[in-house]
Amino acid sequence: MAKTKQPVPETDDEHNDVVILMLDKPRELRLGHKAMKRFSALTHKKITQMQDALEDYETLSTLIYTMLWAEDKTLSPGMVDDLIDDAGCRQEDPLTLGDIYDAVSRAITAAFGGDADEQANGENSGETAEESPTPAAGTGETV
């Protein structure tokens, strides 16, 4: 029986969990199940602590490695560090640490769904403006 070619589904950028990071070539940062398991095993951190990984560069480096490793199993942590260093030194369009931080943050947000800005502002929580708590004047605390 002949196989029929299945149509390629259209990509829905709103629900795409891949962030492209330009290193030696376009590399996929994807925080899937295997990447999360590997990250947890290497760092002994819980998944709920993943966003905190952005604040510690050693942990951030491990997170980048695990996301890239999901696509390319030949990579080692040292190779990923070299790719990041090399991308920062290239003549055209060098990669900054801010670019890396932004890409990893977007990959985490894509993996868990939603928009980071909306989540921070409570826009995805179903609250309306009338229901949202307001900060107490001058205290910085929500009442």
Beta bridge partners of 22: 26
pLDDT confidence band for 15 (50 / 70 / 90): low
Q: Is residue 38 assigned to a domain? A: yes
What domain range includes position 86?
A: 15-116
pLDDT, average across residues 66-79: 94
- Name the CA dihedral angle for 81, 82, 84, 85, rounded to a multiple of 10 degrees: 110
Tally of structural domains, the chain: 1
pLDDT at 128: 41
Query: What is the per-residue pLDDT across 20-57, written as a single tens digit (0 to 9) for each?
Result: 999 999 999 999 999 999 999 999 988 888 777 778 88
